[in-house]
């Protein structure tokens, strides 16, 4: 299955040099539906996006000379272009949060220290395995969010248009880091061990890496005791739409020896966004609205996407 699915998806990767001009008028202090707990849950992830994007860019760039498949190399170069733009736009989003008094810069600085340590002590190949694991995390989260735009109903429209552009592009290139790693490192037992080891570390460290900044942000925002907000977050994450529950179902297949990111072929979902984006000459707000309308007309798309190796 992995060899077949490796051949799909590369024509999806497209660089769109978009500028959203995020500022405090679009990114409020509690930008996620004006809800503190869900905002800081998302902040605990998105605060490290700029430095994380630059890390995976560097990882792919260091492996380009080892690639034998020209299609993988071409996709890798497009991937680098996409991630550079993502980092730039999320820098502005983080800056707006800092201007509201939310210490997102401190969280990213801690992440950067850890990233530099790993870069210093890890081989290029092992960094490639970590990049592949990290990209699967972001692609999986993006897939769940794309299927549930109603989760953002009360979020500023320009901001969620930016976020869903990012979710679409994370889906477009969801196999690139994985294929760059397997093409550079080989597809044998050693490469499998490295990618499983990297994902195991990500899974083990991921929860505390999210939980510590999450509670730190709540504490700094004096929202730790906001019980009603906490209840809303629990419902969103584990009940309706159950973001983390769906995430777990899509996360585990990564450990299967024959796994490939495109085993979950969710191109139909991103095509709904891309058709309107292209038709309107690059209007991300209308593309978001078109995605919402398409999902309402095609509810089976939300449950149809599943990994064949699960």
Q: Give the tens place of pLDDT for each residue, 121-130.
A: 999 999 999 9
Say which residue, 203 or 262, is predicted with more confidence.
Answer: 262
CB 154 within 8 A of CB 34: yes
Q: Percent of the chain beyond pLDDT 90?
A: 82
Tokens of 120: 């210093």
The answer, yes or no, to whether residue 305 has pLDDT greater than 70, is no
Mean pLDDT over 80-94 rounds to: 98
Task: Over range 265-278, report the average pLDDT.
Answer: 96
Closest CA to 301 of 142, 147, 144, 173: 147
> At 62, which helix (H) or strand (E)?
helix 49-63
Average pLDDT over the chain reads 92
Residue 309, pLDDT score = 40
Task: Please state, in angstroms and as integers, the Cα–Cα distance from residue 61 to each residue in 67, 74, 127, 246, following that order.
Answer: 11, 11, 11, 32
At residue 77, what are phi and psi to the nearest 5 degrees?
-70, -40
Residue tagged 């930016």 (tokens): 162
Note the pLDDT of residue 306: 56
Going by pLDDT thresholds of 50, 70 and 90, the confidence category of residue 308 is very low
Residue 169 exposed, middle or buried by CB count within 10 Å (0-12, 13-18, 19+): buried
The mean pLDDT of 200-225, rounded to a whole number, is 90
Asked whether residue 310 carries a pLDDT value surpassing 50, the answer given is: no
pLDDT over 50 at 213, yes or no: yes
Which top CATH class is 2-12+26-265? Answer: mainly alpha
Most confident of 17-31, 195-209, 246-260: 17-31
CA distance 294 to 296: 5
Alpha helices (H) along 122-242: 124-147, 157-172, 176-185, 189-220, 227-238
pLDDT recorded at residue 36 = 98
6-63, pLDDT tens digit by residue?
Answer: 667 788 999 999 999 999 999 999 999 999 999 999 999 999 999 999 999 999 999 9
* CA separation, residue 130 to residues 1, 26, 76, 143, 277 (Å): 23, 33, 16, 20, 32
| pLDDT, position 6 | 66
Which pLDDT band holds residue 1 (cuts at 50, 70, 90)? Answer: very low
Q: What is the pLDDT of residue 2?
A: 53
| pLDDT tens digits along 137-193 | 999 999 999 999 999 999 999 999 999 999 999 999 999 999 999 999 987 899 999
pLDDT at 30: 98
Q: What is the pLDDT of residue 304?
A: 59
pLDDT at 250 over 80: no
Which pair of structure tokens corresponds to residue 206? 């991921």
Check residue 247 and give its pLDDT: 77
pTM: predicted TM-score of the whole model, two decimal places: 0.94
Q: How far apart are CA 36 and CA 222, in angstroms?
A: 10
pLDDT at 303 exceeding the cut of 80? no
Please name the residues in contact with 298: beta carbons below 8 A apart, sequence gap of 6 or more: 268, 272
Question: What is the reported pLDDT for 209?
Answer: 81
What are φ and ψ of residue 234, in 5° steps? -60, -40
Give percent above pLDDT 70 in the chain.
95
Question: What number of CA atoms fall less than 13 Å from residue 93's CA on the CB side?
Answer: 29
């Amino acid at each position: 299955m992995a060899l077949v699915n490796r051949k799909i998806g590369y024509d999806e990767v497209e660089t769109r040099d978009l500028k959203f001009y995020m500022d405090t008028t679009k990114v409020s202090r509690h930008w996620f539906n004006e809800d503190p707990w869900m905002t800081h849950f998302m902040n605990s992830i998105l605060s490290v996006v700029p430095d994380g994007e630059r890390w995976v860019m560097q990882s792919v760039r260091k492996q380009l000379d080892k690639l034998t498949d020209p299609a993988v190399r071409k996709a890798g170069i497009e991937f680098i272009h996409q991630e550079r733009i993502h980092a730039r736009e999320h820098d502005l989003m983080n800056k707006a949060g800092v201007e509201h008094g939310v210490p997102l810069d401190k969280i990213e600085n801690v992440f950067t220290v850890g990233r530099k340590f790993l870069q210093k002590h890890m081989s290029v190949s092992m960094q490639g395995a970590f990049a592949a694991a990290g990209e699967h995390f972001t692609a999986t989260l993006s897939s769940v969010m794309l299927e549930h735009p109603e989760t953002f109903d009360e979020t500023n429209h320009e901001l969620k248009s930016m976020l869903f552009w990012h979710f679409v592009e994370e889906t477009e290139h969801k196999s690139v880091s994985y294929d760059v790693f397997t093409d550079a490192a080989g597809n044998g037992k050693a490469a499998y061990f490295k990618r499983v080891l990297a994902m195991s570390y990500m899974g083990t460290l991921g929860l505390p890496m999210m939980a510590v900044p999450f509670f730190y942000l709540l504490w700094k925002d004096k929202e730790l005791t906001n019980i009603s907000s906490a209840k809303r977050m629990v419902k969103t994450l584990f009940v309706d739409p159950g973001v983390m529950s769906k995430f777990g179902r899509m996360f585990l297949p990564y450990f299967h020896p024959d796994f490939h990111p495109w085993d979950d072929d969710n191109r139909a979902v991103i095509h709904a966004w891309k058709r309107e984006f292209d038709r309107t000459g690059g209007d991300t707000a209308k593309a978001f609205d078109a995605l919402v309308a398409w999902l309402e007309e095609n509810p089976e798309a939300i449950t149809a996407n599943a990994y064949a190796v699960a």
